[in-house]
A and B are shown apart, each in its own frame.
Chain A
Amino acid sequence: MTDLTELGVAAIRDGVRSGAFSAVEVADAFVVKVAKAKHLNAFLVETPDHALAAARAADAARAGGQTLKPLAGVPIGMKDLFCTKGVATTAASHILEGFVPTYESTISQKLWDAGAGMLGKLNMDQFAMGSSNETSAFGNVISPWRRPGSDAPLAPGGSSGGSSSAVAAGLCPGATGTDTGGSIRQPAAFTGISGIKPTYGRCSRWGTIAFASSLDQAGPMARDVRDCAILLEAMAGFDAKDATSLQLDVPRWEQGLSGDLRGVRVGIPREYRFEGSGDGLNYDLEGLASIGATWKAGIDWLRDAGAEIVEVSLPHTKYALPAYYIIAPAEASSNLARYDGVRYGLRDLPEGAGLQDMYAATRAAGFGPEVKRRIMIGTYVLSAGFYDAYYTQAQKVRTLIARDFERAWETCDVLLTPTAPSAAFALGEKSADPIAMYLNDVFTVPSSLAGLPAMSVPGGLDKQGLPLGLQIIGKPLDEQGVLNAGLAIEQRAGFVARPQAWW
């Protein structure tokens, strides 16, 4: 019998429907695989009972002759940023250690309603702040990929690094992620899988632990484009409990999938080349050369799919990253004010301390260094006398960045860019320099600031045999255009490389 953990979301769904195998067999196979993969540290909590209960329900529905739900029999991994009723949820931070939500996030509820089961809660960068999963309070996640001849642990990307590691290692066929500035796309690129961040407002933020509310979007990560489309259909949709939720029907993205791009214009933004962009930052030039070659291949594949290639200009691109590192920390400093040791989570009450001392001690003990750094940057840029110079100016630059994209849409339908400036780096390689780490998001942040749908698909391998990702950015609400361009690349890239199991 085939190894059921080799199957993706669509294959599992179809196989359960046809009776080729049972949902319980699938859940059992993944539960065993998760239990054996502790070395990757991808899971913070394992929930085999949840996965098995959903599987039994799927099998019972089939035995009873009922129509199966869209994700019946599909077990998934849940990023630990989503509140799950009765299952510890920490955002990978000590400050939420022991927090057990008494409610279910909209995203997770929708997935359970669609018949999916949960294998466990996935590790991540603390409060989704990081690009390597090194800011988790519960240890680094390790990528299943390795450089040839080396057992140095590589970063799975971040912040959805537990999700990327778990999907790439075959511990789950799909997982949820969240993306604020690239946290779905960059880890997907680092681990050779696909992931899509939908248009801002497609997925409800209710019950998702907040980082930067004007940017946070949930999305799926899976082994291929079709699986992403299936999962996104289940996750998206209007939710009255989120003030920024879009009151729109969810398109049938899976049904609309087509790799035929005749009549589609693909824009290539010249500012994403970053050759001698003169911004004084230390780019990994070898990494850029590698990704440049893959980018060229991607252009050829899309042309082969029938697309017309046009050069476009996004002149404010280089200001996106600094604008992001004002706006996101500013929102984080406000959102994370709620962790005060009073209503939930950690409390540190030094002997004889008053209320203010309790707040400060609790937050000092509970937040990790990167979270503190961002809260302090955010507090600084929002403080009296600096607000206009930093925060208001950044929001104006954000308007200019969104306008750049609007102009580009006059001559193209989707954009093709690299996802990240290099392949995965080793753990510890960039953690000493915050700005070097922030550079990982240089290609993903602009579309986040503009709220646009964007996805990463595998484009190839670099010289060391590590995956490289290509990013497709679409017009607002045009997830279909993004998925279709992603599919066209997938059909031509022939990306079949998988990490060899060593864990």
Chain B
Amino acid sequence: MSVDTATVKKVAALARIAITDEDAARLAPELSNILGWIEQLEGVNTAGVEPMTAVIPNQLRLRDDVIDADPLTGGGIRDALMANAPQAEHGFFTVPKVIE
């Protein structure tokens, strides 16, 4: 698979990573090379094979239906959650204006 710069720009936009034209020109052959290499999987006969979902058989658990079953993942920790915010006001994360 050969990836052109337009595809690189589209993928970068999907991934929310700003790139310049020079970045895209540099990345196109790099990504083409990697994707070309992984394409050898096309040749593997996987007819009737289920995709892997769990490497070790394991039952999905439900936690106890109580509030704050585990204090580490429970509520009432707003200050701790906000402590690393690049910008926060009045207990809210703030972002640039989204709606005019």
Residues of A participating in the B interface, judged by any CB pair closer than 8 Å: 98-103, 199-201, 214, 240-241, 243-244, 246-247, 279, 316, 319, 322-323, 325-326, 333, 337, 340-347, 349, 353-361, 363-364, 367, 372-373, 375-377, 379-380, 383, 389-390, 392-400, 402, 434-435, 449-451, 476-477
Asked if B67 lies at the interface with its beta carbon under 8 angstroms from chain A, I say no
CB of A450 within 8 A of CB of B55, answer yes
- A297 CB → nearest B CB, Å: 31
Asked if B6 lies at the interface with its beta carbon under 8 angstroms from chain A, I say no
CB of A380 within 8 A of CB of B42, answer no
Known: A354-B98, A435-B33. A364 touches B19 (CB 8 A): yes
CB of A243 within 8 A of CB of B61, answer yes
Please name 6 pairs of A and B residues whose Cβ atoms are closer than 8 Å in the assembled complex, sorted by A: A244-B54, A322-B40, A344-B84, A346-B86, A398-B51, A399-B49
CB of A402 within 8 A of CB of B52, answer yes
- A233 CB → nearest B CB, Å: 19
Taken residue by residue from 17 to 55, chain B's Cβ proximity to chain A (1 for < 8 Å, 0 otherwise) reads as 111000000010011011101111110101001111111
Q: Count residues of chain B with CB under 8 A from any CB of chain A.
A: 54
Known: A333-B15, A355-B96. A325 touches B38 (CB 8 A): yes
CB of B55 within 8 A of CB of A240, answer no
Interface SS, B side: loop
CB of A243 within 8 A of CB of B85, answer no
User: Considering the chains assembled together, what is the distance between the CA atoms of A200 and B27 in angstroms?
Assistant: 34
CB of A103 within 8 A of CB of B17, answer no
- A287 CB → nearest B CB, Å: 20
CB of A367 within 8 A of CB of B17, answer yes
User: A356 — nearest CB in chain B belongs to which residue?
Assistant: B16
CB of B38 within 8 A of CB of A326, answer yes
| Most chain A beta carbons < 10 A, residue from B11, B60, B61, B98 | B11
CB of A347 within 8 A of CB of B86, answer yes
User: Considering the chains assembled together, what is the distance between the CA atoms of A402 and B46 in angstroms?
Assistant: 13
- B37 CB → nearest A CB, Å: 6
CB of A393 within 8 A of CB of B42, answer yes
User: A347 — nearest CB in chain B belongs to which residue?
Assistant: B86
User: A360 — nearest CB in chain B belongs to which residue?
Assistant: B18
CB of A316 within 8 A of CB of B44, answer yes
CB of B12 within 8 A of CB of A376, answer yes
- A137 CB → nearest B CB, Å: 16
User: Considering the chains assembled together, what is the distance between the CA atoms of A451 and B17 in angstroms?
Assistant: 32
User: B49 — nearest CB in chain A belongs to which residue?
Assistant: A396
User: Considering the chains assembled together, what is the distance between the CA atoms of A410 and B55 in angstroms?
Assistant: 18
- For A102, the chain B residues whose CB sits under 8 A away are 77, 80-81, 83-84
Asked if B65 lies at the interface with its beta carbon under 8 angstroms from chain A, I say no
User: Considering the chains assembled together, what is the distance between the CA atoms of A466 and B52 in angstroms?
Assistant: 38
Contact of A389 among B12, B42, B58, B87 (CB under 8 A): B42
CB of B61 within 8 A of CB of A240, answer yes
Asked if B95 lies at the interface with its beta carbon under 8 angstroms from chain A, I say yes
| Most chain A beta carbons < 10 A, residue from B50, B60, B72 | B72
- For B19, the chain A residues whose CB sits under 8 A away are 364
User: Considering the chains assembled together, what is the distance between the CA atoms of A373 and B15 in angstroms?
Assistant: 11
CB of B37 within 8 A of CB of A435, answer yes
CB of A376 within 8 A of CB of B51, answer no
Contact of B11 among A340, A357, A380, A434 (CB under 8 A): A380
User: Considering the chains assembled together, what is the distance between the CA atoms of A392 and B44 in angstroms?
Assistant: 12
CB of B56 within 8 A of CB of A246, answer yes
- A479 CB → nearest B CB, Å: 13
User: Considering the chains assembled together, what is the distance between the CA atoms of A347 and B87 in angstroms?
Assistant: 9
- For A345, the chain B residues whose CB sits under 8 A away are 84, 86
CB of B41 within 8 A of CB of A397, answer yes
- For B41, the chain A residues whose CB sits under 8 A away are 319, 322-323, 326, 390, 393-394, 397
Contact of B27 among A199, A325, A376 (CB under 8 A): A376
The 6 closest A-B pairs by CB, nearest first: A451-B55, A395-B51, A347-B86, A344-B84, A396-B46, A360-B18
CB of B58 within 8 A of CB of A99, answer no
- For B86, the chain A residues whose CB sits under 8 A away are 341-342, 344-347
User: Considering the chains assembled together, what is the distance between the CA atoms of A379 and B80 in angstroms?
Assistant: 32
Known: A322-B41, A376-B27, A376-B31. A340 touches B52 (CB 8 A): no
CB of A322 within 8 A of CB of B38, answer yes
CB of A349 within 8 A of CB of B40, answer no
